Structure formats: structure tokens, C-alpha cells
């Protein structure tokens, strides 16, 4: 999570959406960078609303705008799957070695996903709060040009993004049956991604 005080902007870090590269590029000009622990680095909107927003509003007398990135749901799951197939993950409980992408996505769709498929939900991460707190600026991961243009304009910078935290390249595809299961069980993920303007 990055906070830009003068520009009144907080960049929330949705896992597997390329935010590590933005943290590297923008960290030096951020007023506050939360890089550890992962529970705070990747603080979802509900955690931001509970802990960070009151701090900014009460202690600093500032109303901040929020920004986040969402990835197309199958691509997002593919990134998690590949990330957990890195060589050093082999033999670990969350490894996807020896598990097909279909089996990974099927497990993700379960009511209680097993550890290797327990990767959370972009929808839950970004879900508006009952008090009206919502993501002000939501971008598709697939539309980097629009996100970069927004950040360059808002923060008065020129961005040169490094490639960071990149998952191994593996060709992935879902069977039609599993893709339908995912759309049925996690419809809100697709609805939110399709609702993003651009």
C-alpha cells in the first residue's frame, strides 16, 4: 500500500496485479509505504476502512481517495497457480506442483478451498463498505496505459516500471466445464471486472 499525502491518494495493493512494480517505482515519492507484513501491505478495502481511513481522517484531518487494480479473474487465478509452481514451492503445502489448472480452479470454487487454492477474492478485497467507503479509482490490470496515465498526471511523475515478482510462464487453459463452474460460483468477480470503465 502506498500513500501520497499531498495528492490525497492511497494505492491499495491487490495481490497478483503487478503492484510490486508500482511500489518499486513510486515508493521513493510516497509519503508512506506499507511493504510488510503482507496483511498490511495487501490491506483490502475493509481493513483500510477500519484502520487507515480513520487515522487519515481523525489524526490528519484528510479525506483520501483510493486507487486499486483488478485483474481478469481467470488470468488472476493463473498468476496464483504459476506463482505457487515456482521450483522452491515443490513439496510445500501450498504448492500447485502435480495439480492441473482445472483442479486448482475447481478447488478454488469450493466452499472451503484447500490451502493450495485458498487465494482470496478480488471482489472481497475491493467490496464497498456499509459506511460508503469504496474504491474511487479502479483500473483493469490489462489496461496499464490508462493506469500509468492516471498516475503520471495525478502524481506529476514519469513512470518507468520494472518487472517485479513475475510468475513463471506456463500456457494455461480451462476446460469449458470448469470455466462455467468458475463463472457460476464466482460471478461477482467477473461482474466487477466487466464493470470497470476504460
| Top-tier CATH class for 2-195 | alpha beta
67 - beta bridge partners?
11, 137
Q: What is the pLDDT of residues 76-109, one digit of tens each?
A: 999 999 999 999 999 898 999 999 999 999 999 9
Query: What pLDDT is recorded for position 115?
Result: 95
Query: What pLDDT is recorded for position 65?
Result: 96
Query: What pLDDT is recorded for position 166?
Result: 61
Mean of per-residue pLDDT scores for the chain:
92
What is the rounded CA–CA span in Å between residue 66 and residue 134? 8
The domain spans of the chain are 2-195
Query: What pLDDT is recorded for position 198?
Result: 64
Residues in the chain where the model's pLDDT stays below 70: 162-168, 198
∠ Cα 23 27 33 (to 5°): 85
What's 81-97 look like in SS3?
HHHCCCHHHCCCCCCCC
Query: What pLDDT is recorded for position 76?
Result: 97
Of 110, 126, 127, nearest to 118 by C-alpha is 110
Amino acid at each position: 500500500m502506498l500513500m501520497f499525502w499531498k495528492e490525497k491518494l492511497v494505492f491499495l495493493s491487490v495481490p497478483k496485479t503487478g503492484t510490486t512494480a508500482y511500489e518499486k517505482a513510486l515508493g521513493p515519492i510516497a509519503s508512506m509505504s506499507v511493504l510488510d507484513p503482507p496483511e498490511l501491505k495487501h490491506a483490502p478495502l475493509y481493513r483500510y476502512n477500519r484502520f487507515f481511513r480513520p487515522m487519515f481522517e481523525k489524526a490528519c484531518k484528510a479525506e483520501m481517495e483510493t486507487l486499486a487494480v483488478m485483474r481478469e479473474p481467470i488470468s488472476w487465478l493463473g498468476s496464483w497457480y504459476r506463482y505457487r509452481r515456482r521450483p522452491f514451492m515443490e513439496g510445500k503445502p501450498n504448492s500447485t506442483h502435480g495439480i492441473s489448472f482445472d483442479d486448482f480452479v475447481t478447488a478454488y470454487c469450493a466452499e472451503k478451498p484447500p490451502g493450495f487454492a485458498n487465494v482470496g477474492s478480488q471482489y472481497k478485497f475491493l467490496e464497498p463498505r456499509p459506511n460508503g467507503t469504496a474504491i474511487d479509482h479502479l483500473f483493469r490490470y490489462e489496461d496499464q496505459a490508462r493506469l500509468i496515465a492516471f498516475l503520471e498526471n495525478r502524481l506529476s511523475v514519469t513512470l518507468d516500471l520494472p518487472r517485479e515478482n513475475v510468475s513463471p510462464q506456463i500456457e494455461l487453459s480451462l476446460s469449458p466445464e470448469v470455466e462455467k463452474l468458475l463463472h457460476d460460483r464466482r460471478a461477482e468477480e467477473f461482474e466487477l471486472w466487466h464493470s470497470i470503465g476504460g
